[in-house]
Amino acid sequence: MTAKLLSEGLGTALLLIAVVGSGIMGETLASGNVAITLLANAIATGCMLYVLITTLAPVSGAHFNPAVTLAFALRGDIPPGRAMQFVIVQVIGGLLGVWVTHVMFDQEIWQISTTVHRTGPAQWVSEIIATFGLLFVIFGGLKSREEAVPTLVALYITGAYLYTSSTSFANPAVTIARGFSDSFAGIYPGHIAMFIVMQMIAVGLAAFVLPKLFR
């Protein structure tokens, strides 16, 4: 169990380093070009996801995401107690990843995001779609071609950054952690709760729909 928890915590931390770090680097290099920054953000996140899932899936399943953990728990694949432990270390890992990133870029460790545009009905619907799509890709991949899941998830998230209005957070631990980075990847803490509510709605939809597709 220790290895599984370490895998989930470390994996989530590394994921946030990719998400936040690529946003900071992208903004620095792109000189205000948001499109280039977002593209760099998407590519770096997708690359890190491929690496993390490939290396850590044999250890813990490579969830790095409370929505994914809950979806597996609802299927009966992991017990509730273990799911709760996974969620706790994912949130802690995400926060640690953000703070390490701030150190790496010589920024203040403790930050609160002032990014206030990540809210409203369009982005809330976007988070339902992004999270449902992620679960569709994971469970569909596990059913049809398990070894392809790292590639499928990496490609999905890279694309979803660019075709969802919310830039596809699709992960409560990532959403919480990004509230503590006043950078390109940030989200104002007051807007976190609704993103997570939408992500949980997507988990419920997935629990209802996906078993009918992937028995």
CA distances from 156 to 5, 50, 70, 89, 206 (A): 25, 11, 20, 24, 16
Rounded to 10°, the helix 66-74/192-213 angle is 40
Confidence at residue 61, expressed as pLDDT on a 0 to 100 scale: 97
Structural domains in the chain, CATH included, are 2-213 (1.20.1080.10)
Q: How far apart are CA 133 and CA 135, in angstroms?
A: 5
pLDDT tens sequence across 146-159: 999 999 999 999 99
Quickly list DSSP for 136-198: HHHHHHHHH-GGGHHHHHHHHHHHHHHHSTT-----HHHHHHHTT--STT---GGGHHHHHHH
Token look-up 């993390």 returns: 52
pLDDT tens sequence across 71-107: 999 999 999 999 999 999 999 999 999 999 999 999 9
Q: How confident is the model at residue 1 (pLDDT cuts 50, 70, 90)?
A: confident
* pTM, full prediction: 0.96
